[in-house]
Each structure stands twice: as structure tokens, then as C-alpha cells.
Amino acid sequence: MSKTNEISVRIYYEDTDCGDVVYYANYLRYMERGRTELLRDMGIDLFDYHKKGLLFAVVEANVKYKQSARYNDLLTIVTSLKEKSAATMIFHTEIRRGDTVLAYGDVKVACVKVANGVPGRIPAEIIEALL
């Protein structure tokens, strides 16, 4: 699938750990922002679906760390839809500083009914937007 989005993220002091590098868990936050913005660009507002009783829960996350980001770096978060099924979507994200890939990974999200936590089908209008 070829839908891709790029966003910029500036690294602030609050993003770093005691070693003056970005704390590893923050990369997942940047990946979340990338997924959200990719879906928004496709006309999908996740909060609208939450109000309708559906949410998209992360069920798997895999991240490979190559190099560290540091305070004041300007990063580019490149996110694409890698795969989809009736109930799940897999997004691939690269986190770059210039042309250098610092981290990359895949996150799998599942459509879940808010009321009972049971997996559900991704709504047809979302599937259409993803085509």
C-alpha cells in the first residue's frame, strides 16, 4: 500500500533521558502521531469513531533503534499503511534526522468495541478511505 504521510517533530528537553538522548519509549509516541496524522489526511478522525463506540487499540509494536536522537533535533516521521485486514491495520514508520534513519518499526492496531472490548470489523468507510 502506498499511502504515506510525513510530519516533523522537534526534540525538547522533556523528550530526553539522563543520557541526553531521546528516551526509547518516546519513539512510540512519535509513531502514534504519525499514524494519527496519516489517518487524518485520509479523512479519518479517530475521535469520531470513539464517539461511535469504536477504538483502535495497539495490539503489537516492533521498533528497531539504529541511532539516537538528541535535544533540539528536528525529526521527520514517515508513516505508511503497510497492511490491512477486516479488523486490523499495520502501519510502518521511519523516524529520520535528515537522510539518516534513527528508528523504524511496525505497529498493529485492532478495531475494538468500546462497550465490551471485543474486536470488531473496521467500518466500511475506513476501508474505502484506505484503498
- Among 17, 73, 99, 106, the one annotated catalytic: 17
Cell of 95: 523516524
Tens place of pLDDT for every residue, the chain, 131 residues?
468 999 999 999 999 999 889 999 999 999 999 999 999 999 999 999 999 999 999 999 999 999 999 999 999 999 999 999 999 999 999 999 999 999 999 999 999 999 998 999 999 989 888 87
Which of 42, 38, 23, 24 shows the shortest CA–CA distance to 77?
38
Beta carbons of 81 and 1 less than 8 angstroms apart: yes
Beta carbons of 87 and 111 less than 8 angstroms apart: yes
Terminal CA-CA length for the chain: 8
pTM of the model: 0.92
The sign of the torsion formed by the CA atoms of 20, 22, 26, 29 equals positive
Does the annotation count 45 as an active-site position? no
Paired strand residues for 58: 109
Q: How many CB atoms lie within 10 A of CB 121?
A: 12
CATH class label, 4-130: alpha beta
Break the chain into its structural domains and give their ranges: 4-130
